[in-house]
């Protein structure tokens, strides 16, 4: 037996040249980003987040009701607001097997 529930997957990408990212992603901004994502995880709005092993992109799984709600969370993300990251959102189904 299995069950499904809708979630939103975010594919996170750096949207500027590496040298621009390196010059603008200072420790303060990185800490704000981590704190923001940690707060969303504590509140249950994201299930998990993190970079791929090769750091070419990242993944966020939002446990929210709609793409619109996920988009609002993305728009408040510090690294997105700074113009350094973009997040492509997609609806997905999380399947749980009993």
28 sits in which H/E element: helix 27-43
What is the pLDDT at residue 55?
Answer: 85
pLDDT tens by residue, 69-79: 999 999 999 99
Distance from C-alpha of 46 to C-alpha of 88, rounded to nearest angstrom: 15
pLDDT tens by residue, 45-71: 999 999 999 988 999 999 999 999 999
In the chain, how many domains are there?
A: 1
Q: Which residues contact 34 (CB under 8 A, 6 or more apart)?
A: none
Which residue segment(s) compose the domain that 86 sits in?
Answer: 2-97
Confidence band for 94, pLDDT divided at 50, 70 and 90: confident
pTM, full prediction: 0.89
Three-state SS at 69:
helix
**Sign (positive or negative) of CA dihedral 39, 46, 15, 72:** negative
Domain harbouring 88, CATH code: 3.30.70.1060
């Amino acid at each position: 037996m299995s069950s499904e529930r809708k979630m939103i997957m975010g594919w996170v990408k750096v949207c500027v040249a590496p040298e621009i990212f390196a010059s603008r992603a200072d420790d303060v901004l990185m800490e704000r980003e981590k704190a923001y994502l940690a707060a969303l995880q504590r509140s249950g709005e994201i299930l998990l987040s993190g970079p791929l092993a090769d750091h070419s992109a990242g993944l966020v799984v939002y446990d929210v009701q709609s793409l619109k709600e996920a988009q609002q969370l993305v728009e408040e993300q510090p690294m997105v607001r700074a113009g350094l990251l973009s997040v492509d959102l997609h609806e997905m189904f999380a399947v749980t097997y009993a």
